[in-house]
Amino acid sequence: MGNKYIYSFGNGKAEGSAGMRAFLGGKGANLAEMSNLGLPVPPGFTISADVCKYYYENNQTYPAELSEEVGKYLNRLEETMRAGFGDTKNPLLVSVRSGAAASMPGMMDTVLNLGLNQATLRALINKTGNERFAWDAYRRFISMFSNVVMGISRDKFEHEVENIKKKVRVKNDTELTTKHLQELVEKFKDIYKKNTGENLIDDPRIQLQKAIDAVFASWNNPRAIKYRQLYNIKGLPGTAVNVQAMVFGNMGSHSATGVCFTRNPSTGENALYGEFLINAQGEDVVAGIRTPESISNLQKEMPRIYNEILRYKDILEKRYKDMQDIEFTIQEGKLYMLQTRNGKRTAEAAMKIAVDMVNEGLIDKKMAVLRIDPQQLDQILHPIFDPKAKKVVIATGLPASPGAATGKVVFNAEEAENLAAKNEKVILVRKETSPEDVAGMHAAQGILTCRGGMTSHAAVVARGMGRCCVVGASDVNVDYKSQRFSVNGKIVKRGDYISLDGSMGEVMMGRVPTIEPKLSGDFAVLMGWADEFRKLAVRTNADTPEDAVKARAFGAQGIGLCRTEHMFF
């Protein structure tokens, strides 16, 4: 018998588990684990990261037996779902997603609604009785397949969506009618043909193979390489690929998609934190194309679903013993869990979560200390805006990642990198960020977007980097062409200074003065636990009485080096 490359999950059982992260990637291992825990996970299968390793070691080819194995697992999925892939009466649609062992949010690729063509589109309309939903799913598939598989810029498709919304005078995609979506499909097909010289691929099995190729290829795309460099991610064989039956959050007012954290990733508070969009697909929330509703509103709109999510929150925290970042879809009143992973958080939140979890009996003190990255502690020692300073607030958005940031306005990631290399402080301003912006986000002092929510790409990546971030500032109108933004009659140009308060969600004109922060009680508790385990004494370099006082306040046991010349000059 040859090597096993594929592992199934769903329906309360799985061939894998959380312990197989190295083979199945974080997403695949956690889908398997959630299935084993009895959570409602749409069934599917994971092609292991070993295949990615083989792919790059053998001139981008696959093991000989892989094609047959994919066919076998696809047949199993058809039997489970009682639908046929490419069937013109009862079509099975799938998603194809990446998933490496280390979490890399948004850095690699995803295709949704795969398996759609003109014939399966008609079947989907007949099956659901929902023509608008089917055309919406089709235009989304064409856009994602064109971008991920064929390399066509998603801006070309987004431009057509914006044009038609302006033409019919609506604000949101959900207000577009079936006729408008049909127009978009034709325009999207034209874009595909102009950029590839070919008609859109109609054969679902060729679509699937090309999507799998694209996900493996995305392991070495520039943004994924840059992300691994920034976070020092090394030694991984590659990404796994997850093929999963589609569930739809865009089937009407009883359907939705959302992202939530089991605790607040900015403050650490033990309360469900996140967002959802009615009548939408998952990428809408993460990409920040529409500004979503707070998860607390779900309690009012779908109380049964909200309570179900709360129940799964407790199950997942007990299993993983850490704060979780969850993706979910609600299809016509039924909840499905699409992902769980350890959530990215600020330094302040990391300390509170670690201390609280010790008090709750989930982890011990040693684990709490190990949970804190020493580099994260640097975040909480940074200055904050002086509350007594005069501030001219020109806009407010959602406080996505705390901190105080001041810098020159720039509108693209490349310029942010270039100016930061010259030691200039910049604020990156975008309509919404995408994975291509990750290097510029890292270079910037802060990030401002006019779209998106607290779980959008900008918010999640900024929190992980410790960057100040304000998202969803809807009064801000960004004009990339003229390199400026307008807000309530004020014009801010490229190179102008602005300040961002990531804790309050405020955007301010000019440079606002800062003061030193006061440290929380959780910091002192955690440092006390660290003292219980450490073997080395820590002394400080202090050249003035003020330095010595500050060092003692942070727990230094004495003076290691004192240069007396600074006392006299």
pTM for the whole structure: 0.81
Q: What's the one-letter identity of residue 305?
A: I
> At residue 221, does pLDDT exceed 80?
yes
CA angle 31, 34, 40 (to 5 degrees): 100
pLDDT of residue 239: 95
pLDDT tens digits for range 114-169: 999 999 999 999 999 999 999 999 999 999 999 999 999 988 999 999 999 999 99
The 10s digit of each residue's pLDDT in 296-325 is 999 999 999 999 999 999 999 999 999 999
Looking at the fold, whether 509 and 427 belong to one and the same domain comes out as yes
Is 339 found in the same domain as 393? no
Could you write out the DSSP letters of every residue in 478-502?
EETTTTEEEETTEEEETT-EEEEET
Question: For 1-56, how does the pLDDT look when each residue is reduced to its tens digit (9 = 90+)?
Answer: 468 999 999 989 999 999 999 999 999 999 999 999 999 999 999 999 999 999 99
Banded pLDDT at 89 (limits 50, 70, 90) = very high
566 pLDDT tier (thresholds 50, 70, 90): low
Q: Domain for residue 460, yes or no?
A: yes
**Model pLDDT, residue 567:** 63
User: Which residues have a Cβ under 8 Å from the Cβ of 434 and sit 6 or more positions away?
Assistant: 106, 154, 287, 457
**Which 3 state secondary structure label does DSSP give 259?**
strand
Give the number of domains in the chain. Answer: 2
Q: Domain containing 463 — which CATH number?
A: 3.50.30.10
d(CA 98, CA 72): 20
The answer to whether residue 179 sits within a structural domain is no
Say yes or no: 408 and 338 in one domain: no
Whether residue 390 lies inside any domain: the answer is yes
Asked if residue 145 is part of any domain, the answer here is no
Q: In the beta sheet, which residues pair with residue 46?
A: 7, 242
The pLDDT > 70 percentage for the chain reads 97
Angle, in degrees to the nearest 10, between helices 131-148 and 118-128: 140
- Inform me whether the pLDDT recorded for 289 exceeds 70: no
Last residue of a domain, one of 473, 489, 515: 515
281 and 332 housed in the same domain: yes
Sign of torsion, CA 514 520 525 526?
Answer: negative
CATH code at position 290: 3.30.470.20
pLDDT more than 90, % of the chain: 70
Structural domain containing residue 437? 384-515
Residue 413 within any structural domain of the chain: yes
Q: Average pLDDT over the chain, rounded to whole?
A: 92
Residue 63 is predicted with a pLDDT of: 96
pLDDT digits (tens, 9 = 90+) for 429-460: 999 998 889 999 999 999 999 998 888 888 88
- The token pair at 400 is 């996505």
**How buried is residue 505: exposed, middle or buried, by Cβ count under 10 Å (0-12/13-18/19+)?**
buried
Residue 242 lies in a domain: no
Residue 396 lies in a domain: yes
